[in-house]
């Protein structure tokens, strides 16, 4: 089936978070694609509703098989049913892991910049937030391994929250980089939780490595989090996965989930997840090709019209990290200027101190919308 990613679908007045505006603003911000979800998912949900009874539902063997086959065939991540737990979302799972691996007041390490809930969930759960700034070399972020180890030692860090692929920088950490992190964490007995929600959006020329494939002998201290929601543009259907390979750790996570009854998904999430992993591959292949073309369009446009914007080309996802420091000196003014031009991006400062004067741009939309948004960005920054 050939999908039409050029189709502009009117999402205003639908309750959409992304398209909540009352004016003609073009939203190029929150990680939500403006593409129709894969037909197999939509058809499966429609089929379920035809029964007319939407009762209590549990995961089926077919669902487990779909999860296992997807991750085994694509990433060589060998899972058994016993390695898989369900969660309403990756962010709730990040919060859950605070209670699995740490006590109140203990230190949790994250990189800077980072997806904002990494920081907020640490602090909201009464843990001590420790950050290690990423370094930018030749337009790519790198892990500062020396700083990571120094921070672990200085603050007696108990848990490292890793983002792979990285949000907002789009890095797909290499096997060598991940192995170096593992060596440090094993040396200091630090647990690792790897948010891998953008794994399926890895772009051509790059290879995603699940952290659990490297964790032999350290499985009791490693958890991976992922979801089908970003991959297949179904974020409104809440559902995610927790992977762990140590029996004792699985039991501990399950017990923690049981305290708040946060181990079940709803009927639509189970249905969408199964059919996404069983039949969503063709849609994903086409979507990634369209996204890569939009990334090319964006890079060329900015090079021609706003050459002082430093573009960090993503290795995964449809999110582009832009350094706008040549055009503005104040984060709020930068954001407000773009909003006044009726285009919205994510303010980089929300992702940590290293996001100062940066913006995150979402290109997962029809090309016509993207070009209009880029033209508005050009007008706004040229006027500063």
Percentage of the chain surpassing pLDDT 90? 98
Alpha-carbon distance of 271 to 282, in angstroms, equals 18
**What are the pLDDT digits (tens) for 355-367?**
999 999 999 999 9
Q: What is the pTM of this model?
A: 0.97
Q: What per-residue confidence (pLDDT) applies to 350?
A: 98
Alpha-carbon distance of 27 to 353, in angstroms, equals 24
- pLDDT for residue 274 is more than 90: yes
Identify the helix (H) or strand (E) that includes residue 290: helix 281-305
**What are the pLDDT digits (tens) for 300-342?**
999 999 999 999 999 999 999 999 999 999 999 999 999 999 9
Longest dimension (CA), the chain: 59
Alpha-carbon distance of 346 to 358, in angstroms, equals 9
**What are the pLDDT digits (tens) for 55-70?**
999 999 999 999 999 9
- Mean of the per-residue pLDDT values of the chain: 97
- pLDDT for residue 105 is more than 90: yes
Helices (H) and strands (E) in the chain, counts: 11, 15
Nearest CA-CA partner of 112 in 159, 147, 87: 147
**What are the pLDDT digits (tens) for 1-53?**
999 999 999 999 999 999 999 999 999 999 999 999 999 999 999 999 998 99
DSSP-derived 3-state class of residue 265:
coil
Q: What per-residue confidence (pLDDT) applies to 384?
A: 79
Residue 352: band (very low, low, confident or very high) from pLDDT cuts 50, 70, 90? very high
Residue with tokens 């990494």: 118
Alpha-carbon distance of 289 to 247, in angstroms, equals 39
- pLDDT for residue 252 is more than 90: yes
CB 311 within 8 A of CB 298: yes
Domains in the chain (CATH in brackets) are: 26-39+281-383 (3.90.1150.10), 54-279 (3.40.640.10)
Alpha-carbon distance of 169 to 317, in angstroms, equals 10
Q: What per-residue confidence (pLDDT) applies to 197?
A: 98
Q: What are the structure tokens assigned to 340, written together?
A: 């006044």
- pLDDT for residue 103 is more than 90: yes
- pLDDT for residue 195 is more than 90: yes
Q: What is the CA radius of gyration of the chain?
A: 21
Q: What is the mean pLDDT of residues 83-107?
A: 98
Alpha-carbon distance of 284 to 38, in angstroms, equals 8
Residue 383: band (very low, low, confident or very high) from pLDDT cuts 50, 70, 90? confident
Q: What is the mean pLDDT of residues 180-184?
A: 98
Alpha-carbon distance of 64 to 60, in angstroms, equals 7
Residue with tokens 């539902």: 57
- Any long-range contacts for 174-180 (C-beta under 8 Å, 24+ apart)? 174/207, 174/209, 175/207, 175/209, 175/214, 177/142, 177/143, 178/209, 178/211, 178/214, 179/214, 180/143, 180/145
**What are the pLDDT digits (tens) for 111-140?**
999 999 999 999 999 999 999 999 999 999
**What are the pLDDT digits (tens) for 210-230?**
999 999 999 999 999 999 999
């Amino acid at each position: 089936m050939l999908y039409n990613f050029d189709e502009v679908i009117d999402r205003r007045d639908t309750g959409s978070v992304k398209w909540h505006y009352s004016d003609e603003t073009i939203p190029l911000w929150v990680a939500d694609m403006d593409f129709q979800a894969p037909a197999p998912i939509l058809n499966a949900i429609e089929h379920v509703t035809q029964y007319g009874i939407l009762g209590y539902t549990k995961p089926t063997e077919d669902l487990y098989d779909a999860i296992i086959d997807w991750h085994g065939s694509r990433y060589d991540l060998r899972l058994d049913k016993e390695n898989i737990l369900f969660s309403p979302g990756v962010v709730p799972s990040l919060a859950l892991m605070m209670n699995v691996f740490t006590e109140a007041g203990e230190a949790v390490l994250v990189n800077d910049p980072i997806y904002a809930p990494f920081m907020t969930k640490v602090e909201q759960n009464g843990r001590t937030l420790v950050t290690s700034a990423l370094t930018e070399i030749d337009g790519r972020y790198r892990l500062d391994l020396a700083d990571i180890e120094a921070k672990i030692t200085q603050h007696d860090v108990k848990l490292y929250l890793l983002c792979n692929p990285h949000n907002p920088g789009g890095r797909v950490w290499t096997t060598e980089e991940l192995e170096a992190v593992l060596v440090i964490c094993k040396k200091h007995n630090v647990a690792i939780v790897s948010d891998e929600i953008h794994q399926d959006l890895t772009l051509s020329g790059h290879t995603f490595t699940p952290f659990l494939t490297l964790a032999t002998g350290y499985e009791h201290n490693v958890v991976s989090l992922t979801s089908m929601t970003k991959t297949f543009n179904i974020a409104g259907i809440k559902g995610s996965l927790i992977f762990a390979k140590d029996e004792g750790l699985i039991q501990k996570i399950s017990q923690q989930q049981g305290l708040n009854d946060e181990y079940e998904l709803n009927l639509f999430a189970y249905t969408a997840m199964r059919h996404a992993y069983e039949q969503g591959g063709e849609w994903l292949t086409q979507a990634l090709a369209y996204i890569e073309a939009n990334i090319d369009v964006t890079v060329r446009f900015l090079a021609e019209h706003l050459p002082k914007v430093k573009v960090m080309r993503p290795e995964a996802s449809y999110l582009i990290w832009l350094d706008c420091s040549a055009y503005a000196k104040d984060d709020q003014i930068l954001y407000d200027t773009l909003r006044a031009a009726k285009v919205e991006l994510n303010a980089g400062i929300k992702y940590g101190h290293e996001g100062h004067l940066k913006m995150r741009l979402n290109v997962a939309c029809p090309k016509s919308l993207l070009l209009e948004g880029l033209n508005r960005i050009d007008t706004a920054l040229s006027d500063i």
